[in-house]
Structure 1
């Protein structure tokens, strides 16, 4: 019996959704794929740190995306 709801995830799909939601919440009417791709390494590096390591940099986990995209959102 075929299933229509099969989902295949590769790599950092949940992180990609998190980034897409971040831009959607801020009213961006575009697909941020290019922005995501160019900054993904920095996002992954920060996401992989512990909360203690982030705190030493003055960041909370929820601050990662605003921090990485601060030049285009808060300038």
Structure 2
């Protein structure tokens, strides 16, 4: 298996962590004047990137199992 196949899910996980950190630093669960949590696009982006990374890892595992 080439390193580029493994690198893609790791990059996705790295971006998910960066997105989570950006959410925590920039928004940090602040409440507005109506006591509603202020969220940005970073939190949903975190979950989307994690899901894509998991799908990529599962795809890599399935590919390896089918090659054997």
- Greater relative contact order (CA < 8 Å, ≥ 6 in sequence): 2
Q: TM-score, with normalisation over the residues of structure 2? A: 0.29
Larger radius of gyration: 2
Larger helix proportion of the pair: 2
